[in-house]
């Protein structure tokens, strides 16, 4: 049953403009049901965000695919993710890049995500419990940075930790809505482009 739904989801993503076959294949390979609480598992391949506890959500598959596509990932890339949440987005990135560094501010969620990475034998994700807006300075510079919580402003730490030519993708708060923004660092300045409307949980400072 989940398999039929998975095929349907892949077709839906393709129709919605996800043309990168490596991304579609990563979505096919990573079992999304493992990142979701048991009572929601039958909806794992619906194109929906779902609750993961601690008032947080696993992002909608389309949004995961779209943000991943905007990152233009190469297999030798080192990626930083802010907002591990369920770990699903990190797992997708792990299939496309050399190494993924992911930061989560809610301890309980990070412990659960780390267990899933281990169960799935994913060994190129490194995670830490911290406020992601401070970045991960021991690992700089990053080729790509993805923020998966609604953000008012890209912190100066984050903008300084991306490589020249690197890309940052983040949902940004704009008036009363949120939009996906893509930033490319050119001559040390972030040049922005606007994409789809989205709905993410907020990016918060500190840890809990």
Q: Residue 51 CB, nearest distance to ligand SAH (Å)? A: 10
| Cβ(152)–Cβ(173) below 8 Å | yes
Interaction mask 122-151, ligand SAH, x per CB under 6 A:
---------xxx--------------xx--
- The C-alpha angle with vertex 127 and arms to 129 and 93, in degrees rounded to 5, equals 135
For residue 191, CA distances in Å to 74, 140, 157, 187 come to: 20, 20, 17, 10
Main-chain phi, psi angles of 186, to 5 degrees: -125, 125
Catalytic choice (59, 86, 155, 159): 59
CA distance 44 to 151: 26
Q: Residue 15 CB, nearest distance to ligand SAH (Å)? A: 22
Length of the chain: 208
Pick one of 27, 31, 80, 104: the residue that binds ligand SAH (CB under 6 A). 104
Map the footprint of ligand SAH across residues 53-92, applying CB under 6 A: 56-59, 82-83, 85-86, 88-89
Q: Which is nearer to ligand SAH, 153 or 205 (CB)?
A: 205
Q: Is 16 in the site for ligand SAH (CB under 6 A)?
A: no
Active site residue 59: yes
Main-chain phi, psi angles of 10, to 5 degrees: -60, -45
Pick one of 6, 78, 105, 112: the residue that binds ligand SAH (CB under 6 A). 105
Q: Which residues are catalytic?
A: 59
């Amino acid at each position: 049953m989940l398999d039929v739904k998975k095929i349907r989801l892949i077709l839906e993503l393709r129709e919605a403009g996800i043309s990168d076959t490596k991304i579609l294949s990563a979505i096919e390979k990573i079992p999304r049901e493992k990142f979701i609480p048991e009572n929601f598992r039958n909806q794992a391949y619906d194109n929906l965000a779902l609750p993961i506890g601690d008032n947080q959500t696993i992002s909608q598959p389309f949004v995961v695919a779209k943000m991943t596509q905007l990152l233009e990932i190469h297999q030798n890339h080192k990626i930083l993710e802010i907002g591990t949440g369920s770990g699903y987005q990190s797992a997708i990135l792990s299939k496309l890049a050399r190494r993924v560094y992911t930061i989560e501010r809610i301890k309980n969620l990070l412990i659960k995500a780390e267990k899933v990475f281990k169960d799935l034998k994913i060994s190129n994700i490194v995670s830490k419990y911290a406020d992601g807006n401070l970045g991960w300075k021991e690992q700089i510079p990053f080729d790509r940075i993805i923020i998966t919580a609604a953000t008012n402003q890209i912190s100066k730490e984050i903008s300084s930790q991306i490589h020249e030519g690197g890309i940052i993708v983040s949902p940004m708060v704009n008036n009363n809505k949120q939009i996906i923004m893509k930033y490319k660092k050119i001559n040390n300045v972030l040049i922005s482009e606007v994409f789809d409307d989205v709905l993410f949980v907020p990016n918060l400072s500190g840890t809990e």
